[in-house]
Structure 1
Amino acid sequence: MTRPAGSGLSFSHLGRLSDATGLFEHAERTEPRLEHGYCVDDVARGLVVTAREPAPEEATAALAMTYQRFLAGAQDLDGGMRNRLGANLVWQDDAGVEDCWGRALWGLGTAAARSCSPRLAAEALALFEVSAARRSPWTRAMAFAALGAAEVLTIHLAHPAARSLLADAAAMIDPVESAATSAPPEWPWPEERLRYANAVLPETLLAAGDLLGEPRWVARGLALLEWLLATETAGGHLSVTPVGGWARGEPRPAFDQQPIEVAALADACARAHDLTGHPQWADATLQCAAWFEGANDVGIAMVDPVSGGGFDGLEADGRNENQGAESTLAMLSTFQRASRLRVGDVAGRVLVPMP
């Protein structure tokens, strides 16, 4: 089988988890669990990853079209998003502005800015604009949405809805009044405990500071990211926040560690490298890829070179052998970031061997 264009990654398992409707959320080992249906959270992440491919194969481009069509069907007239579609193709919840709304905006903004299909990009921007008028009371949802807004601003710097959304998200994470309050140096994080996809918060500040011309947010984002990276590193490898979160005084390492945490860190470190050019951020991005290859607290690979899938969690005694959508997408996203750097041992290498 020939190497695909673009990043050189294998999208075979992602294709296995997908059908003409969308992307199945769960898998039993490598087989999709059809009875659990689909969710916008994963489909939106799927759109991010497939739209990022600079020269996608036909099958990968087709996945992006399927995922975007799914998001269009999930969107309400006022811009809210439903999340769960059952195997019977009936929506199981009402539209809202939870994480799925934020991730949908992230996916749509990425497709608007990066899709190789002008038609898909134009449709994505139109869908983005409908939902970008909404706001969420939840920080993570706003941060995910902000990443989509940042993507739109890379091609339309004056886009008013994207600028407003990005500014509002950054202000929620780091309000102006926080500049006057000095956080304890041992815990500068804007929340009482680390939760999930933590690096999305400093990445939002980096994007807002860069694209909106706010140096304070860039400085704050870099400081938070540096602290998070140090906190999630032990023994020369990543030791990331577990699924239950973490606060000072709690034991480390802790499990179940989720690939989504590593992917968020890779995204943020890659953005920090783009902004600063400092090699520490390139090294950190490669460290995220290394976590999947076995440089972690257990010393076990979190990517399946045969299926092209990612394993669902790092446990104290091994790994969760299931290869669901979230974990597979986190792995693909991380390797996209590492591959783009084209430095060190990543240069020119197929990070996920072809099946």
Structure 2
Amino acid sequence: MTIDDRLETRPSDRELLRLLSGGTPEPSFDHLIRMSDDCGMFEHARGPVPKRWHGYCVDDVTRALIVICREPEPAPELVRLAEIYLAFLLHAQDRERGFHNRLGYDRQWHDEPETGEWWGRGVWALGTAASRGPTPWIRAVALERFADGVKLRSTIGHAMAFAALGAAEVADVLPDHQGARELLADAVTVIGRGGSDPAWPWPEPRLEYADAALPEAIIAAGQYLGDEAILRDGLALLDWLLSTATRDGHLSPTPAGGWGLGQPRPGFHQQAIEPAAYADACARAFLVTGNRRWLTGVRMSVDWFLGDNDSRIPMIDDVTGGCFDGLAEDSRNPNQGAESTLCLISTLQLARWLDRIPVDSDPATT
């Protein structure tokens, strides 16, 4: 048996019980720091060791900036990284065409600027930094470049959903920001509000990845545009999506290859981006409606990382602070890339928030 074989072996039940009974850990930024340099955040890792030769991507640098901005009191080292990540996004942004996505370790772009999904994530990160950035200069610069980003549009539903989440961040602190409001409205049009077939109300023919961001964007649009019909549509879509991903009381998310009606569940390879997206969407649904049933979705997302998943395998490396890259039926991918770790951090940030909600609060009926 090789070292890699041992790394991929199913963990013991003792490890699972230790994590599930020991409480939710605090978010660790150790692996984020390990994966970052003075340019940005490396995309891939071999185990916890960065693969420098794969370079950087806007998709992951945006996630990194968002999780730091979500921290209430980030350490100076994290504030410095937030500045690095923001500088990376400014370098990637083209005001007329969108964002580059892939930067080589040689600091050369390997693609042209577009309004693909990375543009949506770029707008999301700029909006988050504009509203929650840890310093006044980060907030000011991010708002300026956010205003440029929201002038563009994409025909891709996921791209518009991610951008809408950034627009929601700005609308939360600047309710009359015209660019944010217009993007929220246009996102609903591009995403779609669901079909009439109760067996498949989803606006796309298959579930793909990070799908919970779509109803979250619709919910946010209904929230900040003051449109109850849009809000109800978003909540209904999220309710259906969460129902399809619930199995025996735990989260059983869409596998990496997607899922269509009639295909078997559970599906593998499962990735950390799925529970992270569910956690974000369900947290927003709770904050908008006050209905505590949405907290179950947040809790299931947290517990997926702790090992309450289809394979009963914990996904957290509590030595490195990283998250394993994927969940198979009887093993986990030993690598700890940027996306997985950042999704873990964002979900644990919500877990910390979840633990502070009084358990005796009256549930709402919305």
TM-score, structure 2 length as denominator? 0.89
1:25 aligns with 2:38: no
Could you tell me which residue of structure 2 aligns to residue 91 of structure 1?
A: 109
Q: Give the distance between the partners of 2:102 and 2:206, measured in 1 at CA.
A: 28
Question: In the TM superposition, what is the alpha-carbon distance from 1:8 to its structure 2 partner?
Answer: 4.2
Question: In the TM superposition, what is the alpha-carbon distance from 1:79 to its structure 2 partner?
Answer: 5.1
Q: Which amino acid aligns with 1:66?
A: I
Q: Which amino acid aligns with 2:63?
A: R
Q: Give the distance between the partners of 2:140 and 2:357, measured in 1 at CA.
A: 37
Q: Give the distance between the partners of 1:165 and 1:344, measured in 2 at CA.
A: 32
Could you tell me which residue of structure 2 aligns to residue 109 of structure 1?
A: 127
1:309 aligns with 2:322: yes
Question: In the TM superposition, what is the alpha-carbon distance from 1:341 to its structure 2 partner?
Answer: 2.1
What CA deviation, in whole Å up to 9, does each residue of 1:281-317 have, x standing for no partner? Answer: 1121011000000000000111111111011011112
Aligned with 1:210 (options 223, 228, 234): 223
1:72 aligns with 2:85: no
Contact conserved, 2:59 with 2:101, CA < 8 A, in 1?
yes
Larger CA deviation: 337-346 vs 46-55: 337-346
Question: In the TM superposition, what is the alpha-carbon distance from 1:130 to its structure 2 partner?
Answer: 1.1
Question: In the TM superposition, what is the alpha-carbon distance from 1:344 to its structure 2 partner?
Answer: 7.7
**Aligned pairs, how many?**
335
Aligned with 1:128 (options 139, 146, 151): 146
1:318 aligns with 2:331: yes
Runs of 4 or more, structure 1, over 6 Å off, are none
What CA deviation, in whole Å up to 9, does each residue of 1:60-119 have, x standing for no partner? Answer: 111111111100000113251000000111011000100110000000100000112011
What CA deviation, in whole Å up to 9, does each residue of 1:7-63 have, x standing for no partner? Answer: 942101000000000000000000000000000000011111111111101111111
Q: Give the distance between the partners of 1:125 and 1:136, measured in 2 at CA.
A: 20
Contact conserved, 2:26 with 2:348, CA < 8 A, in 1?
no
Contact conserved, 1:79 with 1:132, CA < 8 A, in 2?
no
Could you tell me which residue of structure 2 aligns to residue 286 of structure 1?
A: 299
Task: State the superposition RMSD in angstroms.
Answer: 1.5
Could you tell me which residue of structure 2 aligns to residue 268 of structure 1?
A: 281
Contact conserved, 1:79 with 1:133, CA < 8 A, in 2?
no
Contact conserved, 1:311 with 1:324, CA < 8 A, in 2?
yes
Task: Point out where structure 2 has 5 or more consecutive residues left out of the alignment.
Answer: 1-24, 360-366
Q: Give the distance between the partners of 2:240 and 2:64, measured in 1 at CA.
A: 29
Q: Give the distance between the partners of 1:330 and 1:208, measured in 2 at CA.
A: 23
Identity %: 51
Q: Give the distance between the partners of 2:236 and 2:330, measured in 1 at CA.
A: 34
Q: Which amino acid aligns with 1:231?
A: T
Q: Kindly tell me: are residues 316 and 90 of structure 1, through their superposed partners in 2, closer, same or farther at Cα, counting changes over 3 Å?
A: same
1:60 aligns with 2:78: yes
What CA deviation, in whole Å up to 9, does each residue of 1:152-204 have, x standing for no partner? Answer: 111111001111111100122236xx7xxx62111111111101101011000
Task: Point out where structure 1 has 5 or more consecutive residues left out of the alignment.
Answer: 1-6, 347-355
User: What SS class does the counterpart of residue 314 from structure 1 fall into?
Assistant: coil
Could you tell me which residue of structure 1 aligns to residue 6 of structure 2?
A: none
Q: Give the distance between the partners of 1:150 and 1:212, measured in 2 at CA.
A: 10
User: What SS class does the counterpart of residue 144 from structure 2 fall into?
Assistant: helix
Could you tell me which residue of structure 2 aligns to residue 232 of structure 1?
A: 245
Aligned with 1:151 (options 138, 152, 169): 169
TM-score, structure 1 length as denominator? 0.92
